[in-house]
Structure 1
């Protein structure tokens, strides 16, 4: 046991080394920032200009979202390599956190497109440095204590989920209630605080992670692996193919949103669009490269690598569906779900919301208190920063609770005009238009008084005159404007207060995203016991169960949306269907997540380990990009069929792939040659 390990394991919190909780809080604030921003991105892009959104078509927003997620899984390959060879884990973590802080700060200037794109780019680069090195750092710290590693990762991933939970809840709430820049800005503040607390507590890690580490990549392979590696180097053709595939794939991923948003197509030549041709040729070249590498190994090694490729194939379909959470499912929550509760339902929701907000934060605050008792003398600055972080969290939570109980619903009336038009089939159609400050009313129009409901913390009385804005230009979702906002927005609508509606609340669309983290925290211990029992399923069966759960979740959404007519842009479906969907999606994630990278490390020979980790992250990137591509079809499918059909696609595809996984189980068992 070396000196740095002694220092790291010298003091304990809840039976684990104190230093682990420095990493716990660093990762927690990074995940807070990532998931907080992710919860807002698509909603911000599709929201109306009048409330600070960009009023993008859903297709464009989901294309950018998919590309962003895809790039997040590609840059860690580069960041991990740079850390291993040049930087060391600690420097890579600090560099990544600093770049991500700048990225979040840039996104807080959300009114300027340049700063949003710059922010997303910095987040992609920063994640590349940060993401692979946090997990590697723990592995190195526990190198001499393998029996403690599982417990360490359990604590660490609780930090991941705690950060995701708090980030979505608080950044999402501030973004929707106060304005998008508040949500994006809060993500940046906590990313900075996470960086500083890590920076000032580095002494607890001794010399570990300061310099590049020679990681022991010894894994289970057949006896001829070492000889094979020396006889099977990457050829010139291999390297050329890797460069071509990387450049072509990256160009296609970036070109998808660029061609939609900027009307600039990198893959258009002579008036023809070669986007589809490019990605098909790229995939063919990649399959050839992968296959040509694999067949050069002995039969046993070859079989194991084919098993990894099959697992990677399954993971594409899982994440392509699962990542609808931040895309099409957020849109469904915003536009198609009845988020207004009244009477006892509103009271029960407020109480439940307080419990699930306060209890996790109280538990984590207690952990912080235990950490402070152990380390306050040696790492006082780091502890003060952490303490300030939690004071800030509690201030926001208390304000959130107060605001929820002091925000009221008001029934209001506003003027519209109606005109009758003849459509293409010769039928007469009556159309309603809200009267704004810039409206010119046609001579043949009929004036109508319409009723709607708004939410505001102002204490209005009957007949008060206010200004509102139609958020989605559909006449279904209005927001109160302050006098200052009304002066700046020419599309504001004059309205009159009719009455205050007691005990009525509106759930923020981002609130539903916290359910994933909440259900992980609740069900992870049960699944852990399942994996340790004699009923632990085979790897392929775990994938199948996870895919089945995923399909069931979408089946609930498809059923709940079955009453929404073709082409509808809004509806009021019960929140129960979204809650059930997130529950089953989380159960699916808990089945799939334990299988992944551990099997890559066990099945792949040393010389191919970096390449195959790249393949695995590429599969994740393809899955995430596909999620954006499929999600962007929501308007087309809703117009031609209905939104229920859209969710049925995500019901049947995972179930079919799950059945294929079960059928392939005997084949995979044979290919793995006894690897557990």
Structure 2
């Protein structure tokens, strides 16, 4: 999209109407709120649903396997953003991608709501993976379309948008999590489906009035010849993949551990291919190529951050269930409630960070510096968990306040990195790869969770000190390195602060 086209899109959007921001932020805020309500509500009970005994309404899978599946599922959710970003850029635009994605997500939760078996469970996962890949990167991309490049409200707008994401994430474990663990898992999944349905209605009823031209057409559309060629390629690829899977299952070569390892490799191979393709494209200007090079260390920092942050729904969720004292003053807490801590702290602190960036203006830390702070806080959140591991001797139950503190510290890092990363991606992305670069940003989460799928299997009560210490210490070292490299990275950012 040319600079003139971008300006035309911005002018089509009412620029005042939602806390001093474009009206379209209202539509995207509440669409993403309900999508995150459904996703985080489902995720708050998914791990327990997998490893709880069948007599308790679960699937009865081994806990270590359930932890690995959770990480691989999270990785695939973000990895599928490649497909969603490409379809938005080249076929039907980001607005339609958001809608179609919401439909797939809702169907996936409906399937989860049906009492069934493991095959039915994996069917629902496929639907949710595809749907999130369509919706997640593209709704964030539309947020970027609401602002001009010179608009100082952009970072604050993404922080507000990010607060909406976490508001949905706060409420859903309290509702879906409690219903799922205390009443029935499938009833909890039904509530997640209802949440996504409300999100779809919100988007359909307000997008025409509030979003203007934002997301209405692909930025780099396919011509007729390309459509025909790619249709043949996709059909052939689908057949080859189907035959490969069928052969692997028939010969027992394609086992779950092999699949987990394959996803771990793809978590890094796919973004590498993306970087190379975008950099070598004749549609990428020299200035944009320089910005791609600056984006690489930011991407790697995000991988390390998400590898820690996403363990809040795996290792720390299991820690809440089995290592934490849940009986307090005569009340018994649901372990799913701890999944609300991260979004709760984001909601409380996101306005503070948004105000801080606006207040500092041109004096605020540069993007690489913010990322380095994010890594430092992430590492510290794991190092904190060394204390209860040492005090309890790895045997007794520990105070829930240690989990509260760990979640709080990682949120400080999240607010330094995640909304800033969304904003930075819209600034550094080549124009011809706008939505796909947003998909690339979410691949940092996919890569982080692909790594987690390998390492969570090594977590044991007796290895807590080593586990938390090594991972937390590595994050802090990388944060320091990134901080020192900031002046070098900024040279390649070509004026983007």
TM beyond 0.5:
yes
- Correspondent of 2:367 among 539, 544, 552: 539
Alpha-carbon deviations, 1:136-185, whole Å to 9, x = none? 33444556995665565444333212111111211111111112112111
Q: Distance in 2 between matches of 1:303 and 1:203?
A: 36
| Equivalent in the alignment of 1:497 | none
| Equivalent in the alignment of 1:373 | none
| Equivalent in the alignment of 1:76 | 81
How far off is 1:98 after superposition?
A: 1.3
- Looking at secondary structure, tell me which structure has more helix per residue: 2
| Equivalent in the alignment of 1:562 | 390
- Correspondent of 1:513 among 339, 354, 362: 339
Q: Distance in 2 between matches of 1:553 and 1:52?
A: 33
Change (3 A) 1:141 1:63: same
Q: Distance in 2 between matches of 1:143 and 1:267?
A: 49
Alpha-carbon deviations, 1:552-578, whole Å to 9, x = none? 211221211224446x5xx41011100
What is the TM-score normalised by the length of structure 2?
0.81
1:623 aligns with 2:444: no
- Correspondent of 1:659 among 474, 480, 491: 480
How far off is 1:541 after superposition?
A: 2.6
Aligned pairs for 1:640-659 within 5 A:
641-659=462-480
Change (3 A) 1:22 1:288: closer
Change (3 A) 1:108 1:282: closer
| Equivalent in the alignment of 1:117 | 122
Change (3 A) 1:9 1:280: closer
| Equivalent in the alignment of 1:672 | 493
Change (3 A) 1:117 1:291: closer
Alpha-carbon deviations, 1:74-126, whole Å to 9, x = none? 22222233233332333322221111111001111244222211111111111
Q: Distance in 2 between matches of 1:666 and 1:280?
A: 31
How far off is 1:508 after superposition?
A: 1.0
- Judge conservation of contact 1:542–1:592 (CA < 8 Å) in 2: yes
Alpha-carbon deviations, 1:416-474, whole Å to 9, x = none? xxxxxxxxxxxxxxxxxxxxxxxxxxxxxxxxxxxxxxxxxxxxxxxxxxxxxxxxxxx
Alpha-carbon deviations, 1:492-523, whole Å to 9, x = none? xxxxxxxxxxxx00111111111111111111
How far off is 1:324 after superposition?
A: 0.4
Q: Distance in 2 between matches of 1:29 and 1:510?
A: 19
| Equivalent in the alignment of 1:266 | 254
Q: Distance in 1 between matches of 2:404 and 2:260?
A: 37
Q: Distance in 1 between matches of 2:42 and 2:259?
A: 33
The count of residues paired between Structure 1 and Structure 2 equals: 471
Aligned pairs for 1:2-401 within 5 A:
9=14, 12=17, 20-141=25-146, 146=151, 152-205=157-210, 208=213, 211-214=216-219, 264-266=252-254, 290=275, 294=279, 303-342=290-329
| Equivalent in the alignment of 2:227 | none
Tell me, what secondary structure is at the counterpart of 1:562? helix
Change (3 A) 1:142 1:543: closer
Q: Distance in 1 between matches of 2:197 and 2:151?
A: 32
What is the TM-score normalised by the length of structure 1?
0.61
Change (3 A) 1:265 1:167: farther
- Judge conservation of contact 2:306–2:444 (CA < 8 Å) in 1: no
Tell me, what secondary structure is at the counterpart of 2:390? coil
Q: Distance in 2 between matches of 1:184 and 1:333?
A: 21
How far off is 1:634 after superposition?
A: 1.2
- Judge conservation of contact 2:179–2:187 (CA < 8 Å) in 1: yes
- Judge conservation of contact 2:302–2:444 (CA < 8 Å) in 1: yes
| Equivalent in the alignment of 1:414 | none
Change (3 A) 1:263 1:102: farther
How far off is 1:287 after superposition?
A: 5.2
Q: Distance in 1 between matches of 2:205 and 2:267?
A: 46
Change (3 A) 1:591 1:614: same
- Judge conservation of contact 2:305–2:375 (CA < 8 Å) in 1: yes
- Judge conservation of contact 1:560–1:577 (CA < 8 Å) in 2: yes
Structure with bigger RCO (C-alpha 8 Å, 6+ apart): 2
- Judge conservation of contact 1:89–1:210 (CA < 8 Å) in 2: yes
Question: Which stretch shifts more, 44-53 or 6-15?
Answer: 6-15
Change (3 A) 1:506 1:163: same
Q: Distance in 2 between matches of 1:11 and 1:537?
A: 27
Alpha-carbon deviations, 1:228-271, whole Å to 9, x = none? xxxxxxxxxxx9xxx9xx99xx99xx99xx99xx9944289xxx
1:577 aligns with 2:402: yes
Change (3 A) 1:191 1:650: same
Change (3 A) 1:135 1:598: closer
- Judge conservation of contact 1:7–1:205 (CA < 8 Å) in 2: no
Change (3 A) 1:581 1:263: farther
Change (3 A) 1:608 1:63: same
1:634 aligns with 2:459: yes
Tell me, what secondary structure is at the counterpart of 2:384? helix
- Looking at secondary structure, tell me which structure has more strand per residue: 1
